[in-house]
A and B are shown apart, each in its own frame.
Chain A
Amino acid sequence: MKYIVGFGLVLAVGCGKINASSSDAGEPDANLMGTASVVTQNHVAGAGMIGSAAANISVFSLRPNSSMLDMQTTDTNGTGSLMIYPGGSVTAVYPHQLDNGGTAGSMQGADLVTFDGVNTGDALTFGTRFSQPVGTAIGNVTISFPNEGIEPLENFVYTPCGERSVFMFPVSVPVYAWCASSPWEVSSFQVSFGGPQQQYYGSASTTLTNNGGSLTGTYGASHVVAASIAGLPAEVTSAGFNLAGVINPSVFGDNVTQPFTSMTTLGSGATAGTATANIPAFVNGDQYQGQATISRNPNFGSTSIYQMVPTSATTWSVGTIAPPPWLNGHQYFSTEAKAEWAIDSTAGASTFDGIVVVVAWSHTTIVNGSNITVPYTWTFILPPTATSVKLPTLPAPFATMAPLPDTDGVNATVTLVEFPSVNGYDALRAVPERDIVCPDCAVRAGDMTSAIINQ
């Protein structure tokens, strides 16, 4: 009996379909079980710091036919142990806390996260990077850069606590507990509109005293960073390079880890497998996030390679890459609760580690005569052979969270993920969710040295 089930699993993988709720394959073998350890870290705004333990999170494992195998609640350390079905899935459910003004109950959505194709002995770490709520200020930093250009001016100031736009310096920026880092780094980008438009870039940092202080920066001179990438496959038609300053990469916020683009240029196209470009750069932030993007015909996704680059660099060699295959379209079929995609593996394409599918939807309900929108996301981490995923039927306690095709607008994104330092899907499942679902964040935060995605 086990052999029959095993053969079925092999066939399913061969077909590239991850069908967690299909009953066609017959009943899974009740004796085929393993165990996995689970760690739940914070996932949603309001839960606390990124990477901290999240207690009391419901985690459950399903067989491939959506039947429940085990459900547990993580302890005060955010840990738990689950029986799992090899090839089945493990899902964590994180209720939101701040939807609709933080009103408890039915006005809160949730984040669901599923590792598919789990195996015995897996150690799965749930938790992601998320934008922090503003909260109550615990201090202020007064920031000043020269008002250099001819007025009118506009200054874009990036701090660990967010981005602000001001016309003239100085400016006072509130500090919150989640962004009271030291050194407290600031970058500023000034545009002058009087006369010919001029741009100025500068960065500075200070050590906070009692969560506050003052900081005066200066603008730097531009320099050229010569960027190059090699090993491009024949189908690549264009390449682009981008360097963006990164500020306090350990803090994740709307305006911090979304690095402002201080300079961009587009390569003149790949020639004989190589593309180059000169990037006019300014020293900005404590390091650059480098993003090289290679593209082919628009029927296919673009591939981005993320690496960190010192701000003092005058050259950036992405190196000789073996990009993953190309995503060739995707669609979410809501009535079938299924996302499907195609992958084109051209000559020289590398293997990759996994596929991340994010399904997003909102329930709309009427509460006291008002239309209330309750947002949900469901992230699936899948083996690289998958070409579709069918949403499993959620266990009864969570059934109301499932997307409702008759009423909810449901969207899905698909991303092929490759970490050169990670070898395949078994190793990928040992990587924290927060790095898998945001590979560029993983590189910015120093968790990974390089990441390659196609989407």
Chain B
Amino acid sequence: MESNMKNLALLAWMVGAAGCGKVGNAGTDASMFDAAPDADLVGHARVVTQSHVAGDGAVAASMSGVQVFALRPNSSMVDLQTTDNAGGAALTIYPGGSVTAIYPHVYDNNATAAQQGADLVTFMGVKDADALTFGTRFTPYKGGTAANQVGTVNVTVSGAGATTGFVEVETPCGYTEPPQFTAQTATVAIPVYAWCNVSPFEIGGYIYQDAPTAGATSYTYNAPTLNNGNASFALSFPAGHAFTMSTTGVPAEVTSVSFNTQPTLSPEIFSDGNFANGGGTNVGGVVSGGAYTGMGTIYPIGDHLLGALHFSRAGGFSSTTLYDQLPTNATAWTVTAPTLVPWLNGSALFSSEHRLEWSSEATTGASAIDAVVVTLTWSHAMMIGNTNVALPYSWTIILPPDATSVTWPTLPTQFAADQPQPETDTIDSNVRLVEFPSINGYDALRALPERNIVCPDCAVRVGEIPRAIFTN
């Protein structure tokens, strides 16, 4: 009975705290209540850890040996586990508490052991029976030697009417710029490594003419199937076509919009070679009568287009962006009556209080959001011998949509060195309000892989989410 009373009291406090919009794991919020959390209030969660940092392997690959722990709101430990060979673990959790995974880096400071930072990721406000999937998209380690090269793609660029000029080639393995081409052709051999050995191997190309028409540009695309990492082919040059971008029924407070579309290449690989350099289009301007229309030219290259529509308003508010995925042969992108998320109205990091606070304004017609994503980044500086060594850290905290502040948890003793140290570390922060129209609220959001929550545009780019809207 007493325990039930405690539970009721705690529940009442949690509801009250949620109403206040504060998510506190330690310090001021939790310490306002002298009583410790109820030790009997437990639940269970399944955790999956996938790759998170360069050197872990492919994006979304299972990661074993990752430490995950559950904390109560007062930062006391409920459970600590290490994920198994399949990257799985069962964790006892405190409903309303948090679950954190810690991924040590691999390639910091020339991959020197003991000079590695870490990525920390925390889901706040967890509940019984949650299934949490950690892991994000990261730029793979691009190094490669002849020893681990798996093949070569030979590309011949010709035609497009150019006799001299330069060409850029973008591939899943990255960007390369062959030598100036003459006699209407240029060739380039692209080494293929395991991390980018994908079929189809999507290639985008860009030609800038010196002659016969100085300044003329052409875009090209091909997607050969690799044979053990090898292929030889020539690039072709499709014609560009007109592309109309329009939006109507824009909320009254929006003063201007801008559209950006870009072809993507092998989006399943997270790399700066995913976007063709050009072939898309950008337009933007002042909204009139809740509408805007612009025209551009795009080239049907890549496997699809990623469309970004940015909304801006006056005053001290961050812009909001809506992402859609479009087919490469699209001739128009129309966004009708977009329901935007509330406007982020500034954030402040009070590092000595371990607290980040933000404010948002929900104007008429604003949608609910699914979550708030807070990212802290910092570097520990340490002297090793006579050398200053910086250990980079990031801590991503996924919060319920009604949160307006977070006091980050005190890490368990064994991870204390991974805690941001305001006294010595310069800490940066970012706050993002995230809405997936296909996801209904924070409980559903926690069922998504972390990689989609923390990079909503990536989620749209790879086709795992049809539309994402978030503050910048």
A14 to chain B, nearest CB (A): 13
Specify which chain B residues have a CB less than 8 angstroms from the CB of A297 in the assembled complex: 422-426
Closest A residue by C-beta to B349: A329
Specify which chain A residues have a CB less than 8 angstroms from the CB of B357 in the assembled complex: 331, 340
Specify which chain A residues have a CB less than 8 angstroms from the CB of B314 in the assembled complex: 406-409
Specify which chain A residues have a CB less than 8 angstroms from the CB of B355 in the assembled complex: 342
27 contacts between A and B (CB under 8 A): A296-B423, A297-B425, A328-B350, A328-B351, A328-B422, A329-B348, A329-B349, A329-B350, A331-B347, A333-B346, A334-B345, A335-B345, A335-B359, A335-B361, A336-B359, A341-B350, A342-B353, A344-B352, A344-B422, A405-B361, A406-B253, A406-B314, A406-B315, A407-B314, A407-B315, A409-B315, A410-B316
- B346 and A334: CB pair below 8 A? yes
A135 at the A/B interface (Cβ < 8 Å)? no
Specify which chain B residues have a CB less than 8 angstroms from the CB of A26 in the assembled complex: none
Against B, the Cβ 8 Å flags (1 = close, 0 = not) of A374-415 are 000000000000000000000000000000111111100000
Q: Could you list 19 further interchain pairs (A-B, Cβ under 8 angstroms) beyond the known A341-B350, A342-B348, A344-B422?
A: A297-B424, A297-B426, A298-B426, A299-B426, A328-B351, A328-B353, A328-B422, A329-B348, A331-B347, A332-B316, A333-B345, A333-B346, A336-B345, A340-B348, A342-B350, A342-B353, A406-B313, A409-B314, A410-B316
B234 at the A/B interface (Cβ < 8 Å)? no
A195 to chain B, nearest CB (A): 38
Which of chain A's residues 338-375 have a Cβ closer than 8 Å to chain B? 340-342, 344
CA distance A331 to B253 in the complex (A): 23
A17 at the A/B interface (Cβ < 8 Å)? no
CA distance A406 to B315 in the complex (A): 5
B335 at the A/B interface (Cβ < 8 Å)? no
Specify which chain B residues have a CB less than 8 angstroms from the CB of A333 in the assembled complex: 345-346, 359
A310 to chain B, nearest CB (A): 38
Against A, the Cβ 8 Å flags (1 = close, 0 = not) of B393-434 are 000000000000000000000000000001111110000000
Known: A340-B357, A405-B316. A299 touches B422 (CB 8 A): yes
Closest B residue by C-beta to A387: B350
B433 to chain A, nearest CB (A): 14
Residue in B345, B352, B359, B423 whose beta carbon sits within 8 Å of that of A342 in the complex = B352
CA distance A104 to B441 in the complex (A): 53
Specify which chain B residues have a CB less than 8 angstroms from the CB of A342 in the assembled complex: 348, 350, 352-353, 355
A27 at the A/B interface (Cβ < 8 Å)? no
Specify which chain B residues have a CB less than 8 angstroms from the CB of A335 in the assembled complex: 345, 359-361
- A409 and B351: CB pair below 8 A? no
CA distance A332 to B347 in the complex (A): 8
Specify which chain A residues have a CB less than 8 angstroms from the CB of B423 in the assembled complex: 235, 296-297
Which of chain B's residues 316-349 have a Cβ closer than 8 Å to chain A? 316, 345-349
Specify which chain B residues have a CB less than 8 angstroms from the CB of A328 in the assembled complex: 350-353, 422
Against A, the Cβ 8 Å flags (1 = close, 0 = not) of B344-377 are 0111111111010101110000000000000000
CA distance A344 to B422 in the complex (A): 10
Specify which chain A residues have a CB less than 8 angstroms from the CB of B424 in the assembled complex: 297
A333 to chain B, nearest CB (A): 4
Specify which chain A residues have a CB less than 8 angstroms from the CB of B315 in the assembled complex: 334, 404-410
Residue in A299, A340, A404 whose beta carbon sits within 8 Å of that of B352 in the complex = A299
Which of chain A's residues 408-438 have a Cβ closer than 8 Å to chain B? 408-410
CA distance A336 to B404 in the complex (A): 13
Closest B residue by C-beta to A332: B346
Specify which chain B residues have a CB less than 8 angstroms from the CB of A300 in the assembled complex: 352
Against A, the Cβ 8 Å flags (1 = close, 0 = not) of B420-461 are 001111110000000000000000000000000000000000
Specify which chain A residues have a CB less than 8 angstroms from the CB of B351 in the assembled complex: 299, 328-329
- A331 and B348: CB pair below 8 A? yes
Specify which chain A residues have a CB less than 8 angstroms from the CB of B426 in the assembled complex: 297-299
Specify which chain B residues have a CB less than 8 angstroms from the CB of A408 in the assembled complex: 314-315
Specify which chain B residues have a CB less than 8 angstroms from the CB of A406 in the assembled complex: 253, 313-315
- B346 and A331: CB pair below 8 A? yes
CA distance A60 to B311 in the complex (A): 41
CA distance A333 to B316 in the complex (A): 8
CA distance A341 to B353 in the complex (A): 11
CA distance A407 to B423 in the complex (A): 38
Closest A residue by C-beta to B362: A335
Closest B residue by C-beta to A407: B314
Listed from nearest, the 3 A-B pairs whose CB atoms lie closest are: A331-B348, A342-B350, A344-B352
B459 to chain A, nearest CB (A): 29
CA distance A80 to B86 in the complex (A): 78
CA distance A330 to B349 in the complex (A): 8
Identify the interface centre among B352, B355, B359, B360: most chain A CB within 10 Å of its CB: B352
A236 to chain B, nearest CB (A): 11
CA distance A333 to B425 in the complex (A): 26
CA distance A298 to B314 in the complex (A): 30
CA distance A407 to B314 in the complex (A): 5
Specify which chain B residues have a CB less than 8 angstroms from the CB of A235 in the assembled complex: 423
B305 to chain A, nearest CB (A): 34
Against A, the Cβ 8 Å flags (1 = close, 0 = not) of B46-85 are 0000000000000000000000000000000000000000
Residue in B347, B359, B427 whose beta carbon sits within 8 Å of that of A299 in the complex = B427
Specify which chain A residues have a CB less than 8 angstroms from the CB of B316 in the assembled complex: 332, 334, 405, 409-410
CA distance A329 to B316 in the complex (A): 17
Closest A residue by C-beta to B255: A407
CA distance A57 to B346 in the complex (A): 34
CA distance A335 to B349 in the complex (A): 18
Specify which chain B residues have a CB less than 8 angstroms from the CB of A405 in the assembled complex: 315-316, 345, 361
Identify the interface centre among A329, A407, A408: most chain B CB within 10 Å of its CB: A329
A114 to chain B, nearest CB (A): 21
A407 to chain B, nearest CB (A): 5
Which of chain B's residues 102-140 have a Cβ closer than 8 Å to chain A? none
Specify which chain B residues have a CB less than 8 angstroms from the CB of A410 in the assembled complex: 315-316
Specify which chain A residues have a CB less than 8 angstroms from the CB of B350 in the assembled complex: 328-329, 341-342
CA distance A252 to B331 in the complex (A): 63
CA distance A298 to B424 in the complex (A): 9
Identify the interface centre among A235, A296, A344, A408: most chain B CB within 10 Å of its CB: A344
Closest B residue by C-beta to A343: B352
CA distance A276 to B397 in the complex (A): 43
Specify which chain A residues have a CB less than 8 angstroms from the CB of B347 in the assembled complex: 331
B363 to chain A, nearest CB (A): 9
Identify the interface centre among B253, B316, B345: most chain A CB within 10 Å of its CB: B316
CA distance A330 to B352 in the complex (A): 12
Closest A residue by C-beta to B348: A331
CA distance A406 to B316 in the complex (A): 8
CA distance A340 to B346 in the complex (A): 11
CA distance A299 to B314 in the complex (A): 29
Which of chain A's residues 250-309 have a Cβ closer than 8 Å to chain B? 296-300
B289 to chain A, nearest CB (A): 18
CA distance A299 to B350 in the complex (A): 8
Specify which chain A residues have a CB less than 8 angstroms from the CB of B253 in the assembled complex: 406
CA distance A118 to B422 in the complex (A): 35
CA distance A335 to B363 in the complex (A): 11
B11 to chain A, nearest CB (A): 24
Closest A residue by C-beta to B378: A299
